[in-house]
Structure 1
Amino acid sequence: MAGTLAAVRFVLASASPARLAVLRAAGIEPSVVVSGVDEDAVAAELRDPSHEDVVVALAGAKARAVAGTLPESGPSVVVGCDSMLSIGGDLVGKPGTPEIARERWSAMAGKTGELLTGHAVLRREHGEIVAEASGTRTTVVRFGEPDDAELDAYLATGEPLAVAGAFTLDGLGGWFVEGIDGDPSSVIGISLPLTRELLRRVGVSVTELWTPPTS
């Protein structure tokens, strides 16, 4: 099936600048359409979900919401993403406030957590979803132990308030990550290996989506 779609539009259903940067560095210039999905409401509808179920459901809801807003003309693939951190048996997302972020770091410092990323890929033709695939990646993150002054300074930047698990790998938070076991792009927000696999499952080769080099 790969090769049957011409000029496929890649739509990223996320406002994350980190995800956009990963895709651009990997040769794709996506259209960005933010879903506006109420993540808490989606998660509340799940019955006894696993951690993997949660991130996949959220990614799928975002992708479907965006797919419903796109024009009918032209083939496209819509990619929805969601990331959360499993630490001490709890699944946590964006802290939102400095107080919650501080509590998260108190629980994470010197320990390991699992960063779960869920992706959903929808392929659209003539305004209809003709194929879809979803999956997850789990990467172990080994956290450092920032001292009080370092943590105060990090929280003051605002960066950890709006990212899953209250840390980044590719930003200021990278100073406080000792290492990872798994896919680094997944920790940043969009797993390139998983996205390639899901695209293949809906009949699209990732190489068809690469931006042609400019002379």
Structure 2
Amino acid sequence: MSGPRLCLASASPRRSELLASIGLNAITCAVDIDETPLPEEPPEALVIRLAEAKAVAASTCDACIGDAAQLPVLGADTVVVCDGRIFGKPRDRADGAWMLRQLSGRRHHVITGVAVNGPQGLVSLSVTTHITLRQLDSNEIDAYWATGEPLDKAGGFAIQGRGALFVSYLEGSHSAVVGLPLYETAQLLAYQGVELWTPAPQQAMP
């Protein structure tokens, strides 16, 4: 893999792994911002606002400034929405169990906002994926929490892990549920001049 071509405003290993899966090596620079929704703020507006705030905040990170120029900075945020209620990361075991009981057997939405701050300015978008979880019983919820997997996941479950056993239906971007919609992210990065394909080395003529 080539040297870093962008900065990721996140400490999420999942987002780093998703970028690596499409051949992009990113420097990471976690930023601490207030993720509290504004009064009556729609979830789509919330994730875009937070993604943009992360991308802008990380742009001043020393790690994101190369020898020649500032690297494009990517920020992202994901929330789960059910019946208009926004589910972030669970505060504790009781909160995580409550979230899963609310989502059990029901259709909900996972919304991820992505922003890239680069030569073309700040550009952003959001992607919505529709998911239905099968009916969950209390023993499953308790056992799942005991794995430690739900602790830092929006909605209290991870589709890239054992939480996938709960998902009976998905419509939309699987990678967006993990944390980064790759198709749309690639479009934003290409717009900012990030090369997604490197030319194959030319072989010398005999």
TM-score category by the smaller chain? 0.7 to 0.9
Which structure's residues are more often helix, by fraction?
A: 1
Partner of 1:138: 128
TM-score (norm 1): 0.83
- 1 CA distance for matches of 2:145 and 2:56? 34
- CA deviation vs aligned residue, 1:153-197 (integer Å, no higher than 9, x gap): 101122112111111111121111112100111000011011112
AA aligned opposite 2:85: D
Query: Pick from 66, 79, 85: which aligns with 2:58?
Result: 66
- 2 CA distance for matches of 1:195 and 1:96? 29
- 2 CA distance for matches of 1:59 and 1:142? 25
After TM superposition, the runs of 4+ consecutive aligned structure 1 residues lying more than 2 A away are 70-75, 200-208
Query: Pick from 21, 24, 29: which aligns with 1:28?
Result: 24
- 1 CA distance for matches of 2:4 and 2:22? 17
TM-score (norm 2): 0.87
Partners of 1:8 and 1:77 within 8 A in 2: no
- 2 CA distance for matches of 1:25 and 1:157? 25
Question: 3-state DSSP class of the match of 2:77?
Answer: strand
- CA deviation vs aligned residue, 1:93-147 (integer Å, no higher than 9, x gap): 10121111111111100111100000110115xxxxx522100000001112222
Partner of 1:158: 148
Structure 2 residue runs without a partner (length 5+)? 202-206
- 1 CA distance for matches of 2:56 and 2:130? 29
Deviation (angstroms), 1:8? 6.6
Query: Pick from 39, 43, 51: which aligns with 2:43?
Result: 51
What is the number of residues matched between the two proteins? Answer: 195
- 2 CA distance for matches of 1:74 and 1:48? 43
- 2 CA distance for matches of 1:173 and 1:94? 14
In structure 2, relative to structure 1, the CA distance for the partners of 1:170 and 1:8 (3 Å cut) is closer
Partner of 1:183: 173
Partner of 2:160: 170
Question: 3-state DSSP class of the match of 2:14?
Answer: helix
Partner of 1:127: none
- 1 CA distance for matches of 2:93 and 2:151? 6
Question: 3-state DSSP class of the match of 2:112?
Answer: strand
Partners of 1:84 and 1:93 within 8 A in 2: yes
- 1 CA distance for matches of 2:34 and 2:8? 17
Question: 3-state DSSP class of the match of 1:49?
Answer: coil
Partners of 2:131 and 2:167 within 8 A in 1: yes
Query: Pick from 173, 182, 188: which aligns with 1:192?
Result: 182
Identity of aligned residues (%): 33
Question: 3-state DSSP class of the match of 2:118?
Answer: strand
Partner of 2:114: 119
Partners of 1:84 and 1:92 within 8 A in 2: yes
Question: 3-state DSSP class of the match of 2:155?
Answer: helix
Partners of 2:112 and 2:128 within 8 A in 1: yes
Question: 3-state DSSP class of the match of 2:61?
Answer: coil
Query: Pick from 74, 86, 95: which aligns with 1:91?
Result: 86
Partners of 2:90 and 2:154 within 8 A in 1: yes
Bigger relative CO (Cα 8 Å, ≥ 6 apart): 1
What is the CA RMSD across the aligned residues, in angstroms? 2.0
- 2 CA distance for matches of 1:135 and 1:191? 10
